[in-house]
Amino acid sequence: MTAAPPGPVLEVTGLAKRFRADRAPVFANVSLRLAAGEYVAVMGESGVGKSTLLNLIAGLDRPDAGSVCVGGAELTTLDDDGATVLRRRQMGFVFQAFHVLPYLTVAQNVSLPLDLLGVSRQEVAARAAAMLTAVGLGSAAARWPRELSGGELQRIAIARALVHRPRLVLADEPTGNLDPRSATQVLALLREQVRAAGGGGLLITHSLAAARTADRVLVLSAQGLEPLA
Amino acid sequence: MKAQVRLWWRLWCAQWRAGPVRMLVPVIALALGVSLATAVQLVNRSALAEFEQAARRLSGDADLVVRGPVAGFQEGLYPLIARVPGVAVASPVLELHVTLADRREPLQVIALDPLRAAQLQPRLLGELAGERRAFFAPDRIFLSARAADTLGVRSGDRIEVLVGSSRRSLEVAGQLSAAAYPRAVGLMDIAAAQWRLDRLGVLTRIDLRVARGADIDTVRAAVARHLPPGMSVAAPAVDDARLASASRAYRVNLTMLALVAVLTGAFLVFAAQALSLLRRRPALALLRALGVTRGGLARALAAEGVVVGLIGATIGFMAGVALARWMLGAVAGDLGAGQLESLSGALIVGPGDATAFILLGAAMGGAAAWLPGREAATQPVAQALRAGDASAAFARVRSWRIGGAVTGTGVVLALLPPVQGLPVFGYASIGALLLGGVLLAPAAAGGLLGRWPAPRAAEARLAIAQLRGSSARTAIGFAAIIVSFSLMVAMAIMVHSFRESFIAWLDQALPADLQLRLGQGGGSATLDAAGQEAAREVEGVARVEFRRSRPLVLRREAVPVQLVAMEIGEGGVPALTIVKDGGPVPGTPAWISEAMEDLYRWRTGEHVTLPLGGGHTLAVTIAGVFRDYGRSGGSVVVPRAAYVEAGGDSAANEALVWLHRGAAADVVVAALHARLGIGEALQVRTTGEVRERSLRSFDRAFAITYALEAIAVFIGLLGVGVAAASTALSRRAEFGMLRHLGLLRRQVVAMLAEEGLLTGAIGTGCALLLGGVLSLVLVHVVNRQSFLWSIDLAVPWGTLAMLSAVLVVSAAAAALIGGRAAAGGDAIRAVREDW
Ligand SMILES: Nc1ncnc2c1ncn2[C@@H]1O[C@H](COP(=O)(O)OP(=O)(O)OP(=O)(O)O)[C@@H](O)[C@H]1O
Ligand SMILES: [Mg+2]
């Protein structure tokens, strides 16, 4: 939002997570560094812990060990409220299921993060409209989610993730529900918008083609994060 | 903060626009809950206000009242008391019940010194302002409008009263308006009454007004020093025996019903809020992911609950007032078996009530949203977003341990003694047991469902799987049924038990063919020895057993106890329902009612001395305890021979009459009337008639109970329907998916009906069980402590079976109706909504 402070957008070191004591940990030692303007893809087998990693980075779950640093703030030392406020200001989310509220119009859905931040009405309207135009849905502002296609809904989700210019965008299989053509469109859009916002982006995907749209591709396994061979 | 409030408001309005029906469900539930509570409370209060007003009018505005034995005390005491320092006004009163020549019921007469009484009871005498002089005339009486009405007389007419065995005539000098004096009563000048009613020199009460600035307790102590033994001075209290016991029975009923109303209402609100939040869990999780804090979310949800509460309570209050008005109008005549004399649909509602009930509704809405709101705010966000499932919700609340602890507390509370004669802990126990049952039932139901054999039909299998899977929803469905039905079961068992015990008691108390009574409620008419002999000689009469029944003052502040002197044969007392038999005792035996055990702590085998008045006493040994549904204030039965010998009178005012074989009852009744010549004050009834009348008045006393209970159950059923509808609404996407899978619409509906049926059947089973336990508390704790008499448990199996069937069918129907709406039309498209 404001002038980007120097240093990485995201710094993850030695992260470990285990759900149940009687089972092996999901992963034991994950480290990752994301510079401003960098857009990284993470791949891995199903069940290896990609979504878990994303949740830890977002502060939606707690690691057993290691640290997560977002924009210079150490997430693991924050309480739930602190993490929530950090999320509100600095992060944007795109989910596999679109999670667009059915009872709000397209423009209202996109405005949600700005409303939460207490931005003035006029500015909200202007920024939401600009964001919708940027994702190619400028004319759909007054429509209802039920009237849109899956690809269009995901573009709205992207607009919602970026409208408040977060420093870090987290996307968990954003194209999992889309046809290849829409997928290509959405991925291009996501990359373009993350760059425009000047923050970092983390894309989780199963598709190599999708991963190749990123600057770097990493693979998650029980051993940790490795660059794609 | 302000931004979030604005955002929340916008989200809320958007939800209303998008799905008004969904959003309306909690509002309707809240309105139902508040209307039920409002209606019962308003009826309750109007009735109690009536009792209190009647009591207050009797004692006027006195600060202290000096009392003696029921027979009265010598007026020589009056000047002494009037001169005690600190006493500003002393007003002598003679209160008595006189038997009217042509009426069964006695007339209460209050005789006053008009000049002094005017200072203490301005309301009472204000109306007589112009007629003070008429008041002093020796044979004049003023009647309340009600008394004049019942007696069918107007000013200038004369009424005949019986004093001992002779008649006196009084002129009706005027009427007191119903507003000033709602009960049937006559007012006389005290000197005239003492003379004309044979009470020369006697007072029954002195009302005192304490001088301004004087301390009431100090004055009371000073007055007490002047009182001979057997007299007391105290602040005025509700002390009319009939009034007190009627009001008590009535209070117990209404308190129980108010409890039902409040619990059912509160539960409805809670269930509606919980269901609505359950439905919105994924959307709330999204807001959390977007940066709404836990506290912010919980507060917003609570605030939303308050707003829903305000709207619902406003609607509910208006509906409740209408309901109360209707109830008072429809059943006022039958309230408390006609004990409430002037409850003519006078509903008392003020602006304060509206504020109180609406605020209460708002608080209920907020509180009901608080727990599920906190639950929703603290749920793991990642998980809720992932599956969108609510099965983990309320896991903490649903444990055996909490339910067991609450139930245990309920059991312990049931064992505690009453507080100032009221079964406070009994009611608390019922509340705790109910809550414990609600907490335990889902776990029990879960165990049952887990063992349920898998049915063949796909939709039936789905129904069971859904009940097992979404335990939070299922738990709320069960709880709705349990709350509304178990209390009803408990009330039904209690009333049935009471009725059965009452019938058994009645049959035992009526061994003869005819029952003869003079006057009622301690009237002044009696039969002397000659009269008794005359009755024995009537054609067709085989045997007569005379009794003397009169009040006995054992403790001054308490309601007088009834002393009954009756003939007692070798084998004890066949007309009494003995609950404790102490066997043969030395000396004169006496039997006491259960209330005597509680009120005076008398025990079998104990020796007591009964003060008969006029310096006479009767020493007795307690030989047993009997059940007495006729008087809750306590009664003592002694052998008539011993009573007469001890200096009690030989007159009689009750008798049991056995007829010769073949004698016609109505002929004998007519002959008795002709022979004794007492007119209507003599009441002779056949046993069948007495039995029938008593049962009718018993049923009338419980009419209001049934009416209110029916309303509570109806609203409970509506709650079940609301819960079913809201569940069905929240499962639209699931139905759509099932339709996609190829389930016919008919099959979806069948699945819902089966779910409803199962929920209804298991819920009803649990409710029956819990209701049985609650009825034990009602019968053995609440009833015993309120009325001081025992009841034998009797279960109305037929009624319960019928009610259960109705409930199960209604639950299935509610699920079906809610489901049809949700499964029809655009359900297939609903699968596109990803919640
Ligand atoms: N709340 C939870 N409780 C217990 N185990 C969990 C929980 N969440 C995830 N897991 C387990 O952790 C592992 C990683 O799950 P995660 O969802 O992170 O996988 P993923 O890499 O995102 O898989 P996919 O590519 O299929 O989405 C899985 O084995 C999963 O079963
Ligand atoms: Mg995943």
A34: three-class secondary structure by DSSP: strand
Within a 10 A sphere around the Cβ of B454, how many other Cβ atoms?
Answer: 8
Residue A155: closest CA among A189, A128, A127? A189
Residue B439 in any domain: the answer is no
If contacts are CB pairs under 8 Å, which of residues 667-696 in chain B contact chain A? none
The answer to whether the beta carbons of residues B770 and B437 sit under 8 Å apart is yes
Write down the number of H helices and E strands in chain B. Answer: 28, 21
DSSP annotation string for B102-168: T-SSPEEEEEE-HHHHHHH-HHHHHTTGGGHHHHTSTTEEEEEHHHHHHHT--TT-EEEEEEBTEEE
Mutate-to-test residue for ligand 1 from A22, A27, A42, A50, highest number of ligand atoms within 8 A of CB:
A50
Residues B303 and B226 both lie in one domain: no
Which residue has tokens 């990642």? B382
Residue B123: predicted pLDDT: 58
Q: Which CATH architecture has domain A10-101+166-227?
A: 3-Layer(aba) Sandwich (3.40)
CA distance B801 to chain A (A): 46
Rounded-to-integer distance, Cα B450 and Cα B74, Å: 80
Residue B339: predicted pLDDT: 41
Q: What contacts B497, CB < 8 A, 6 or more positions away?
A: B775, B779, B791, B792, B793, B794, B795
Within a 10 A sphere around the Cβ of B601, how many other Cβ atoms?
Answer: 8
Q: Is B18 on the interface with A (CB under 8 A)?
A: yes
Residue B461 in any domain: the answer is no
Tell the burial category of B583 from Cβ atoms under 10 Å away from its Cβ (0-12, 13-18, 19+): exposed
Q: Is A1 on the interface with B (CB under 8 A)?
A: no
Higher pLDDT, B488 or B412: B412
Mean of pLDDT values over B501-505? 88
- A146 and B15 within 8 Å at the Cβ level: the answer is no
Report how far ligand 1's centroid is from the alpha carbon of B269 (Å): 37
Rounded-to-integer distance, Cα B287 and Cα A88, Å: 10
Residue B388: predicted pLDDT: 44
Mean of pLDDT values over B668-686? 79
Rounded-to-integer distance, Cα B362 and Cα A174, Å: 43
Q: Could you tell me whether strands A200-204 and A39-43 are parallel, antiparallel, or unpaired per DSSP bridges?
A: parallel
Rounded-to-integer distance, Cα B443 and Cα B193, Å: 71
**What residue type is assigned to position B366 of the chain?**
G
Q: Is A177 on the interface with B (CB under 8 A)?
A: no
For the cut 60, the answer to whether the pLDDT of residue B56 exceeds it is: no
Residues B273 and B177 both lie in one domain: no
Residue B155: predicted pLDDT: 82
Residues of chain A positioned with their CB less than 8 A from the CB of B6: 115
Residues B40 and B83 both lie in one domain: no
Average pLDDT over chain B reads: 77
Give the number of beta-carbon pairs within 8 Å between A and B. Answer: 80
Residues B610 and B646 both lie in one domain: yes
DSSP annotation string for B545-590: EEEEEEEE-SSTTSPPEEEEEE--BTTB-TTSEEEEE----SSSEE
Residues B220 and B255 both lie in one domain: no
Rounded to 5 degrees, φ, ψ at B647 are 105, 0
Q: Is A164 on the interface with B (CB under 8 A)?
A: no
Of A100, A116, A119, the CB nearest to B291: A116
Q: Is A80 on the interface with B (CB under 8 A)?
A: yes
Residue B629: closest CA among B176, B289, B249? B249
The length of chain A in residues reads 229
Mutate to test the interface with B, among A53, A84, A123, A172 (most CBs of B within 10 A): A84
Structure tokens at B143: 């009647």
Rounded-to-integer distance, Cα B349 and Cα A193, Å: 64
CA distance B13 to chain A (A): 10
Rounded-to-integer distance, Cα B362 and Cα B314, Å: 9
- B834 and A98 within 8 Å at the Cβ level: the answer is yes
Residue B95 in any domain: the answer is yes
The answer to whether the beta carbons of residues B233 and B556 sit under 8 Å apart is no
Q: pLDDT tens across B200-209, in order?
A: 888 888 888 8
- B7 and A84 within 8 Å at the Cβ level: the answer is no
Q: Is B833 on the interface with A (CB under 8 A)?
A: yes
Closest residue to atom 9 of ligand 1, CA basis: A52
Mutate to test the interface with B, among A79, A100, A115 (most CBs of B within 10 A): A115
Residue A22: predicted pLDDT: 87
Q: Is B10 on the interface with A (CB under 8 A)?
A: yes
For the cut 70, the answer to whether the pLDDT of residue B681 exceeds it is: no
Within a 10 A sphere around the Cβ of B685, how many other Cβ atoms?
Answer: 17
Report how far ligand 2's centroid is from the alpha carbon of A63 (Å): 17
Residues B617 and B568 both lie in one domain: yes
DSSP annotation string for A62-105: --SEEEEEETTEEGGGS-HHHHHHHHHHHEEEE-SS----TTS-
Mutate to test the interface with B, among A57, A101, A170 (most CBs of B within 10 A): A101
Ligand nearest the Cα of residue A60 is 1
Q: pLDDT tens across B475-496, in order?
A: 777 777 788 788 888 888 988 9
Residues B226 and B79 both lie in one domain: yes
Which residue has tokens 């007492």? B678
Residues of chain A positioned with their CB less than 8 A from the CB of B9: none
Mean of pLDDT values over B576-584? 83
Q: pLDDT tens across B3-20, in order?
A: 777 788 888 888 788 777
**What residue type is assigned to position A127 of the chain?**
R
> For chain A, what are the domain ranges?
10-101+166-227
Q: pLDDT tens across B598-608, in order?
A: 888 899 989 99
Mutate to test the interface with A, among B17, B290, B297 (most CBs of A within 10 A): B290
Predicted confidence band of residue B835 (pLDDT cuts 50, 70, 90): very low
Structure tokens at A85: 């406020």
The length of chain B in residues reads 835
The answer to whether the beta carbons of residues B44 and A153 sit under 8 Å apart is no
DSSP assigned state of B71: T
For the cut 60, the answer to whether the pLDDT of residue B588 exceeds it is: yes
Residues B68 and B53 both lie in one domain: no
User: Of the candidates B677, B706, B728, which is a domain's last residue?
Assistant: B677
Residues of chain B positioned with their CB less than 8 A from the CB of A60: 288-289, 380-382
Mutate-to-test residue for ligand 1 from A17, A26, A61, A219, highest number of ligand atoms within 8 A of CB:
A26
- Ligand 1 pocket, residues with Cβ under 6 angstroms: A 19, 26, 44, 46-52; B 383
Mean of pLDDT values over B497-504? 89
- A115 and B6 within 8 Å at the Cβ level: the answer is yes
Within a 10 A sphere around the Cβ of B644, how many other Cβ atoms?
Answer: 14
DSSP assigned state of B660: P
Report how far ligand 1's centroid is from the alpha carbon of B703 (Å): 62
Within a 10 A sphere around the Cβ of B574, how many other Cβ atoms?
Answer: 11
Write out the H or E segment, with its range, that includes residue B307. Answer: helix B294-331
For the cut 80, the answer to whether the pLDDT of residue B346 exceeds it is: no
Of B6, B11, B832, the CB nearest to A146: B832
Which residue has tokens 């509002």? B27
Of B290, B834, B835, the CB nearest to A116: B290
Ligand 2 being an ion, which residues bring their Cβ within 5 A of it?
A: A 51
Angstrom CA distances, A183 to A132, B125, B584, B674, stand at 18, 95, 101, 109
B642: three-class secondary structure by DSSP: helix
Which residue has tokens 């759509």? B736
Residue B467 in any domain: the answer is no
Angstrom CA distances, A89 to A92, A161, B282, stand at 9, 11, 21
Angstrom CA distances, B136 to A67, A113, A229, B2, B542, stand at 101, 89, 121, 77, 50
Closest residue to atom 7 of ligand 1, CA basis: A19
B332: three-class secondary structure by DSSP: helix
Q: pLDDT tens across B509-523, in order?
A: 888 888 888 755 445
Residues of chain A positioned with their CB less than 8 A from the CB of B288: 60, 84
The answer to whether the beta carbons of residues A175 and A79 sit under 8 Å apart is no
Residue B429 in any domain: the answer is no
Residue B708: closest CA among B508, B491, B550? B491
Predicted confidence band of residue B337 (pLDDT cuts 50, 70, 90): very low
Report how far ligand 2's centroid is from the alpha carbon of B526 (Å): 96
Residue B762: predicted pLDDT: 86
Q: Which atom of ligand 1 is nearest to the CA of B383?
A: 1
DSSP assigned state of A65: E
Write out the H or E segment, with its range, that includes residue A58. Answer: helix A50-58
For the cut 60, the answer to whether the pLDDT of residue B656 exceeds it is: yes
Q: Which atom of ligand 1 is nearest to the CA of A96?
A: 27
How large is the angle between the packed helices B471-509 and B458-469, nearest 10 degrees? 90
Angstrom CA distances, B436 to B398, B461, B482, B713, stand at 10, 30, 11, 20
Residue B15 in any domain: the answer is no
Q: pLDDT tens across B806-826, in order?
A: 888 888 887 777 777 666 655
Structure tokens at B773: 């336990």
Residues B59 and B111 both lie in one domain: no
User: Of the candidates B210, B234, B258, which is a domain's last residue?
Assistant: B234
- B292 and A116 within 8 Å at the Cβ level: the answer is yes
CA distance B753 to chain A (A): 29
Residue A67: predicted pLDDT: 93
Q: Is A60 on the interface with B (CB under 8 A)?
A: yes
- A93 and B19 within 8 Å at the Cβ level: the answer is no
Residues B115 and B229 both lie in one domain: yes
Rounded-to-integer distance, Cα B277 and Cα B308, Å: 13
Residue B205: closest CA among B236, B182, B175? B236
Q: Is B828 on the interface with A (CB under 8 A)?
A: no
**What residue type is assigned to position B354 of the chain?**
A
Residue B776: predicted pLDDT: 93
DSSP annotation string for B386-441: HH---TTTTTTTT-HHHHHHHHHHHHHHHTSPPBTTB-HHHHHHHHHHHHHHHHHH
User: Of the candidates B677, B707, B725, which is a domain's last residue?
Assistant: B677
Based on its alpha-carbon atoms, the radius of gyration of chain A, rounded to whole angstroms, reads 17
The answer to whether the beta carbons of residues A44 and A53 sit under 8 Å apart is no
Rounded-to-integer distance, Cα B256 and Cα B252, Å: 6
CA distance B303 to chain A (A): 17
Residues B205 and B123 both lie in one domain: yes
Write out the H or E segment, with its range, that includes residue A44. Answer: none
Structure tokens at B267: 């539960």
Domain total in chain B? 3
Q: pLDDT tens across B250-303, in order?
A: 666 666 666 666 666 777 777 777 777 777 777 888 888 888 888 888 888 888
Of A93, A102, A112, the CB nearest to B18: A102
Rounded-to-integer distance, Cα B649 and Cα B645, Å: 9
Rounded-to-integer distance, Cα A120 and Cα B188, Å: 82
CA distance A188 to chain B (A): 23
Rounded-to-integer distance, Cα B149 and Cα B143, Å: 9
Residue B40 in any domain: the answer is yes
- B829 and A146 within 8 Å at the Cβ level: the answer is yes
Residues B229 and B290 both lie in one domain: no
Low-confidence ranges of chain A (pLDDT < 70): 1-6, 229
Higher pLDDT, B21 or B490: B490
Q: Which domain holds residue B670?
A: 526-677
Residue B241 in any domain: the answer is no
Residue B109: closest CA among B185, B43, B3? B185
Q: Is B282 on the interface with A (CB under 8 A)?
A: yes
Report how far ligand 2's centroid is from the alpha carbon of A95 (Å): 10
Residue B374: predicted pLDDT: 81
Q: Is A51 on the interface with B (CB under 8 A)?
A: yes
Residue B410: predicted pLDDT: 92
For the cut 70, the answer to whether the pLDDT of residue B504 exceeds it is: yes
